[in-house]
Chains A and B, each alone.
Chain A
């Protein structure tokens, strides 16, 4: 089931004019604050009315300004998960979970969802007695049990600390891989995008500036809606072996990558994000350097950034790798497209939240 969105909405000082098509899986709306992500989500949910446009989930039209279609919010069949969970404080966890189910066309059994989210022991509590991560899990369950055709998640992890983020992210991964419901996920966190996204829609100033499969959009040095520090490549790798010294070896297109232990079974496919500013470039395989990962490749492009930086795009057997280095270094090394080059990455530079399924 795909989502097609075409929305125009102007308010004084801001115009949202965005169109994109999202296939099944997780589509991440990615962009800085004020880029129109939340307005877009609210328009899809029906909470704000676009001036013009068309919104359709599969073959079901939710809004069409030309045909005069505007399906009311409660009939859109969407499950929402917001940043602040928005659980009903006067109801228990069980009643919260059943709220959407009560109105749903299909009454799903509570059990599998409760089990998947690990919230069985919370059912009789009230939201005020839950931690932030628990609340968010209940909110995910509530959205799922309303048998939605599409799940809208508006920065569901933004209010959580890193430990809680690590707790919740795997549930969204399972949702993506198991539930079969398309998810539109709003985020301005590059690591989250890298882990979850099937498709990325980058928004800036109310417009779509890039759109496509996650690795393509994130690996494109021209797209930096969140600034240069968020630029980074996304590689797909398999867990090859776990070493006794606490490192996990991955196989990325034949290139071995070592990173701090990842608790996944051997053979599991992972995505890892390598931030551009963590990559060192070397003309040959370095000797006497502490960094463990050497990815050989050839330079595909060099792009001048703002200030003293240059973004170098490297084609490697592992995929496209981005490096952000100074112009001074690039000139001193005489870097030019087509030249062979080695990307050097410290193991610990690949953060644990950057590696996921």
Chain B
């Protein structure tokens, strides 16, 4: 890419890769957790709700530090720490966790918009719960799931604090769009390159928001069956 320098291009492509993986891998968990929070009653529901929302409330650097400790050699998740430590996979994990609350909220809202009477009806017609979910709930919330995915992707593209704390800022490996901007701003003459990345960030964010709005209006239409 002639317009962008090689370092900035690397950062952009890495960000896209990290965010895609973060979104795709966390999506099934997001749907599961959203469904549990919206429909199931079980002990510890509020605790789960709190834990899902924690990354939204905590300073990102705290989330990053907790990941660092958790996946560190002495941490409880130490055995798999090598897979994530200072690699792009770690950046994807950090981004996925930071984006998770947004994803779950969007999906949960769309599940709550589905009339539970429809799910009950499906059960009386002979569908076991997993079938009810696959044939009634999921098709009706699909636009909501996509909205959650788009929002999560945008959030992952912008993740900074947890990423830099957990996997540092290694060009070509863990240097994503925001950390690259930060780096360019630290060196003399880096403003131009930083500004281009800033413009790209704004574009991605706006595009994602517009896409999620458009998908959101489809939820309502789909639930109404038009």
Contact = CB atoms under 8 A, between A and B. Distances in A.
A102 B131 CA distance: 11
A88 interface: yes
B209 to A, nearest CB: 26
Contacts of B43: none
Contacts of A72: 128
Interface in B131-176: 131, 135-136, 139-140
B224 A88 contact: no
A84 B117 contact: yes
A279 to B, nearest CB: 41
Contacts of B139: 90
A126 interface: yes
A90 B123 contact: no
Interface string B117-128: 110111111111
Interface stretch (A75-83, A166-174, A258-266): A75-83
Interface string A130-151: 0000000000001100100000
B222 A90 contact: yes
Given A126-B225, A128-B226, A86 B121 contact: yes
Contact of B125 (A47, A90, A99): A99
A31 interface: no
Interface in A32-81: 45-47, 72-80
Nearest to A127: B225
A223 interface: no
B109 interface: no
A77 B124 CA distance: 7
B225 A128 contact: yes
A74 B126 CA distance: 4
A73 B124 CA distance: 6
A103 B125 contact: yes
B118 A88 contact: yes
A89 interface: yes
Q: Looking at B120, B123, B125, which has the most chain A CB atoms within 10 Å of its CB?
A: B125
A92 to B, nearest CB: 10
Interface string A90-111: 1000000001101110000000
A146 B124 CA distance: 9
Contacts of A89: 118, 140, 222-225
A152 B125 CA distance: 11
Given A128-B225, A128-B226, A90 B124 contact: no
Interface residues of B, number: 23
Nearest to A126: B225
Secondary structure type dominating chain A contacts: mixed
A304 to B, nearest CB: 44
A100 to B, nearest CB: 4
B121 A82 contact: yes
A128 B120 CA distance: 20
Nearest to B124: A80
Contacts of A73: 120, 123-124
A74 B123 contact: yes
B140 A78 contact: no
Contacts of A146: 125-126
A223 to B, nearest CB: 31
A334 B131 CA distance: 69
A145 to B, nearest CB: 9
Nearest to A81: B121
A84 B121 CA distance: 11
Nearest to A145: B125
A142 B125 contact: yes
A100 B125 contact: yes
Nearest to A128: B225
Contact of A47 (B120, B127, B140, B222): B120
B69 to A, nearest CB: 44
A76 B124 contact: yes
Q: Looking at B115, B127, B131, B223, which has the most chain A CB atoms within 10 Å of its CB?
A: B127
B136 A88 contact: yes
B125 A79 contact: yes
A80 B128 CA distance: 16
Contacts of A128: 224-226
B82 to A, nearest CB: 45
A108 to B, nearest CB: 13
B124 A88 contact: no
Nearest to A142: B125
Interface string A268-312: 000000000000000000000000000000000000000000000
Contacts of A100: 125-126
Nearest to B125: A100
B88 to A, nearest CB: 38
10 contacts: A46-B123, A74-B124, A74-B127, A86-B118, A89-B140, A90-B140, A90-B222, A102-B126, A128-B225, A143-B125
A-B pairs, 9 with minimum CB distance: A89-B225, A103-B126, A100-B125, A128-B225, A73-B123, A86-B121, A80-B124, A90-B139, A146-B125
Given A86-B117, A103-B127, 10 more contacts: A45-B120, A74-B126, A74-B129, A79-B124, A84-B117, A89-B118, A89-B222, A90-B139, A103-B126, A103-B131
